[in-house]
Chain A
Amino acid sequence: MKDHLAEIIIASTIFVIVSVMGFLAARWRRPDNMAHLNEWGLGGRSFGSWITWFLVGGDLYTAYTFVAVPALLFASGAGGFFAVPYTVIVYPMVFVVLLRLWSVSHRHGFVTPADFVRARSGSSTMALLVAITGIVATMPYIALQLVGIESVLKSMHVNPTWALIIAFAILAAYTYQSGLRAPALIAFVKDALIYLVIIVAVIYIPYKLGGWHKVFDAADTKFAKTNGTILNSANEWQYVTVAFGSALALFLYPHSVTGVLASRSRDTIKRNMSALPAYSLLLGLIALLGYMAIAAKTKPITDSAGKADNNTIVPQLFDQMFPHWFAGVAFAAVAIGALVPAAIMAIAAANLFTRNIYKEYIRKDASHAEEATVSKVASLVVKIGAVLVILLISPQFSIDLQLIGGVIILQTLPAVAVALYTNWLHRWGLVAGWIAGMGTGLWMLWYVPNAATKHAHFGGSNFALSHLFDPTSIGLNKATTVYAGFLAVVANLVVAIIVTLICKAASAPDGVDITRPDDYTADAGDAAPPAPPHQLAGDELPEPVPTA
């Protein structure tokens, strides 16, 4: 038995330092009045390029990603590398979209994506659907961050239950007090640690294993029965559609929007679209830790029933390869890596509840201070819920739910992303499309089994085309699978367009759009201009969001 004491001491020390920072963050860039959702929930909408880079990077590349992506390569080979094209294409894809979202939110004071939907479509029903979709998709994501921490605790042989409760109680307390400033400040430490650990890992571990070719040779041997370490005809379409669909979905998640709206100006966002791919490089290298674990013959921890927990593969690899003290640093990096996104996600979900459910349906005349208080309490409830789900149900439950999360958040694409370009889609078309996308998405997910957990349904998001037609008839491999979310959002858009055409033909009343074309190009410092004498350039950009 190895002694894990050094690891535990180093990791706990770093954790304590970070917790103190979280509480002190309330004083950082201190506002005149914290009792406002712009301050607690969006850090004063004032973050410049550097803070935004750390915040959004810390938000999107979560601890669970760092644990699960290498686990995927470890277990199934090349298919797991989809995370790289996914996070490469996402920034050029959302470049213009996020600028428009930032501008219109800046001009109108929107805090959540559902705020925008309410104003643009004039439909409180659609706004409520977007808010609920956002909350439901985010909740399991928060719970998954706990899975990331848990994998580290297991490798240090610490009782996960109490450690998890303590970690999340501290997280909940400083998020309550400091709001978005806490994760923004902690993100600096988190990312510095993660970069350090990964750079050391990708130099040191392959060196110890005898070079990168040894790493890839070991993986080739393990996956010799499929296509080795590249794709085959059965999974190449899945690879492309998962990467594309996940990229479409990423910035529909409420926590991604929170990070973007907290930035100061359009140029801040543009600079970040160029700088954030640095994290994609990091993620690509992290993914390859999965192959290193194969070459190092690392064994995942098995539970009492003898079932291997692949999520422990990265911590186990660190434990095996690094000296104790540096393994402690690495474990702290993963654990803190869970806290940043968990805090931002809880804030985003709380803001959705406050703005689009509480203020819309419970207290229409809630003051700014009341909104901030409701959000703070809601963020506590969200975190307690996440801990209970992990401890009382099972981690696998939230992993399955999170796969569904990507599919369902994608169904807000027409109401949020498409609507940033055009208000042509009728509000009833949007609602009908959402119902159709949600229905087909869940129907497809029902047919996805999971071989590893022996669940017959909801076992993943890769839908076999053979359920619909014979793929060989159009020249594809008969086992071809595609991303369910991708097909569902196509169904969503088709139904939205058809119902819109029907509504227009029947002269159904349009929703009232309170935004104006020049709202979508407004920048920091722009005063609200007088009524424009001509159409501004806002609508001339054609649709860059490809749909099929």
Chain B
Amino acid sequence: MVEPQTQPAPRSRSGAWHWLLVIPIVVPLLVFLFNAKDPYFLGFPRFYWLQLAFILLSVATTLVVYFLTRSGRAQR
């Protein structure tokens, strides 16, 4: 049987983890972080490699939030 909804407390705790998502929203918009050519990496100027690296930041954060807020029901 599906459990009746008896978890207001855990849900509010898991809700707080959503604030982590602010990090990958704000960081890629901070132009001063990436608007330069040095240092180069594999031939890429910083402007390009660092912005591509922000993809990893976004993936990592959303994965962490996913694992912390997973519904815990049967998967698939």
| Contacts A89-B25, A236-B31; A81 near B51 (Cβ below 8 A) | yes
Q: Which of A154-162, A324-332, A417-425, A536-544 contacts B (4 or more CB under 8 A)?
A: A536-544
**A84 and B51 contact, Cβ closer than 8 Å, known pairs A274-B66, A523-B73, A525-B73:** yes
Contact check, B51 vs A270: say whether CB atoms are below 8 A apart: no
Tell me which residues across on chain A come within 8 A of B55, comparing CB atoms: 84, 88, 277, 280-281, 284
* Alpha-carbon separation in the docked complex, A405 to B28 (Å): 24
Residues of B near any A CB (own CB < 8 A): 2, 4-5, 8, 11-12, 15, 18-19, 21-25, 28-29, 31, 35-37, 40, 42-45, 47-48, 51-52, 54-55, 57-59, 61-63, 65-66, 69-71, 73, 75-76
Contact B63 A216 (CB under 8 A): no
| Nearest A residue (CB) for B8 | A537
4 new A-B contacts at CB < 8 Å, known A96-B21, A265-B71: A89-B28, A216-B43, A231-B35, A266-B71
Give the distance to chain A from B76, nearest Cβ to Cβ, in Å.
7
**What is the interface size of chain A, counting residues whose CB is below 8 A from a CB of the partner?**
54
Q: How far is the CA of A460 from the CA of B54 in the complex (A)?
A: 27
Q: Which of these, A95, A231, A277, contacts B31 with CB under 8 Å?
A: A231
A288, B48: Cβ atoms under 8 Å? yes
Is the beta-carbon distance between A230 and B45 smaller than 8 angstroms? yes
User: Bound state CA distance, A206 and B42, in angstroms?
Assistant: 12
Interface of B is mostly: helix
A532: B residues at CB distance < 8 A? 5
- Docked Cα-Cα span, A78 to B57, in Å, equals 21
Question: A280 to B63, alpha carbons, bound, how many Å?
Answer: 16
Choose among A91, A267, A529, A540 the residue that contacts B75 (Cβ–Cβ < 8 A).
A267
B47 surroundings in chain A (CB, below 8 A): 78, 81, 229-231
Chain A residues with a Cβ under 8 A of chain B: 48, 78, 81, 84-85, 88-89, 91-93, 95-96, 206, 211-213, 215-216, 228-231, 236, 239-240, 243-244, 265-267, 270-271, 273-274, 277, 280-281, 284, 288, 518, 521, 523, 525-527, 529, 532, 534, 536-537, 540-541, 544, 546
Q: Shortest beta-carbon distance, A87 to chain B, in Å?
A: 9
Assess the B63–A274 pair: CB atoms within 8 A.
yes
Cα distance, A529 to B59, chains bound together (Å): 34
**Nearest 7 interchain pairs by C-beta:** A212-B43, A92-B21, A85-B28, A274-B62, A537-B11, A213-B43, A270-B66
List the A side residues contacting B37 at CB < 8 Å.
228-230
Separation of A536 and B4 alpha carbons in the complex (Å): 13
Residue numbers in A under 8 Å from B40 (CB-CB): 213
